[in-house]
């Protein structure tokens, strides 16, 4: 049956975003070759302070992780269509251990990145969906999904995202991302999923 918010694999979004990221990277000019001198035959181990005419090379910008385009993209440049916006995968989902609603380090990382993005796009509103794998009963999982989505919201709020921008819902085990009966699907289902509801 059709879901209110689409959930497609991020593969296509990844390609688009990486390409986008690289196209925005700033790169400085290549170092100009030094003119040869009589002293160059001897190996000079001590580095020379830069003199006139030397281009100082700066560190390359970090490659953006999947789903995170370079900072500097303003809200007006985001797709206008909410479906497109959600497909672009700007916000990362966070994943959980079996039966747990505590945030793992990788979950905190994902949520921290989401908080950064949300603060850069202050008009965007989101819905955080709590999901579970098929362990435990359906009713228990409604409650577990609720704990997960609240854990994520509380963390975002602690990182200064305004609480009134964040709606929460639990789907328990009712809307799984993978329907196979092993850990490959279960680990995918134990998550909070982000949906942009207003741009």
Taking CB under 8 A as the criterion, the residue among 10, 142, 157, 185 binding other proteins is: 142
136 lies in the binding site for other proteins (CB under 8 A): yes
| Nearest-approach distance from CB 137 to other proteins, in angstroms | 5
Q: Which residues, 95 to 124, sit near other proteins by CB under 8 A?
A: 99
Q: How far is C-alpha 133 from the geometric centre of its chain's CA atoms? A: 22
Q: Please identify, among the stretches 25-33, 67-75, 150-158, 189-197, the one whose residues bind other proteins according to the rule CB under 8 A.
A: 150-158
Closest contact distance (angstroms) between CB of 22 and other proteins is: 40
The answer to the question of residue 185 lying near other proteins (CB under 8 A) is no
Q: With respect to other proteins, which residue has the nearer C-beta, 120 or 154? A: 154
Binding site for other proteins (CB under 8 A): 1, 99, 136-140, 142-144, 146-147, 150-151, 154, 168-171, 174-175
């Amino acid at each position: 049956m059709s879901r209110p918010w689409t959930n497609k694999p991020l593969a296509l979004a990844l390609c688009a975003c990486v390409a986008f990221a690289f196209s925005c990277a700033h790169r400085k000019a290549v170092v100009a070759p030094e003119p040869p001198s009589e002293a160059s035959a001897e190996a000079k181990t001590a580095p020379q302070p830069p003199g006139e005419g030397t281009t100082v090379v700066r560190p390359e910008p970090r490659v953006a992780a999947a789903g995170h385009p370079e900072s500097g993209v303003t809200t007006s440049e985001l797709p206008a269509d909410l479906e497109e916006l959600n497909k672009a995968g700007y916000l990362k989902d966070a994943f959980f251990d079996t039966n747990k609603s505590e945030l793992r380090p990788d979950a905190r990382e994902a949520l921290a990145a989401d908080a950064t993005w949300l603060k850069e796009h202050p008009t965007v509103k989101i819905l955080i969906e709590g999901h579970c794998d098929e362990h435990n009963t359906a009713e228990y999982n409604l409650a577990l999904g609720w704990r997960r989505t609240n854990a994520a919201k509380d963390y975002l709020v602690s990182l200064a995202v305004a609480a009134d921008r964040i709606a929460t819902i639990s789907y328990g085990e009712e809307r799984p991302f993978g329907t196979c009966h092993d850990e490959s699907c279960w680990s995918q289902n134990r998550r909070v999923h982000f949906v942009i509801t207003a741009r």
